[in-house]
Amino acid sequence: MGRARDFAARGEQGRSALVLDASAADTDVSENILLDGTDAASKNAGFNIMQEDFSTDIPLDLLPPGSRPMLNEDLVWFHTWFGQSGSQSISDNTTTKCNWNAVRWDWQGNANMIDDPSVFTVPVSGFYYIRTSVYYSVSSHNSILVYNYIYPRVNGGTAQGIHDFRTHGYGGGSGFSFHQVGTQEASGIIQLNKGDTVDVVVYFYKNASAGHVAYTYKGSLDGFSGCLLQRLAD
Please give the pLDDT value at position 161.
Answer: 73
Residue range of the domain that includes 12: 1-57
Element housing 136 (H / E): strand 126-140
R_g (Cα) of the chain, nearest Å = 28
Tell me the CB-side half-sphere exposure of residue 229, using CA atoms within 13 A: 10
Count of domains for the chain: 2
Low-confidence ranges of the chain (pLDDT < 70): 1-62, 65-66, 68, 138-146, 160, 167-181, 207-211, 218-219
CA 200 to chain centre: 15
CA 81 to chain centre: 14
Total length of the chain: 234
- Last residue of some domain: 57, 87, 105? 57
12 and 80 together in one domain: no
Please give the pLDDT value at position 36.
Answer: 59
109 and 183 together in one domain: yes
Please give the pLDDT value at position 170.
Answer: 58
Is residue 65 domain-resident? no
98 and 45 together in one domain: no
Rounded Cα distance, 227 and 76, in Å = 5
For the four alpha carbons of 226, 227, 232 and 234, in that order, the dihedral sign comes to positive
pTM of the complete model: 0.67
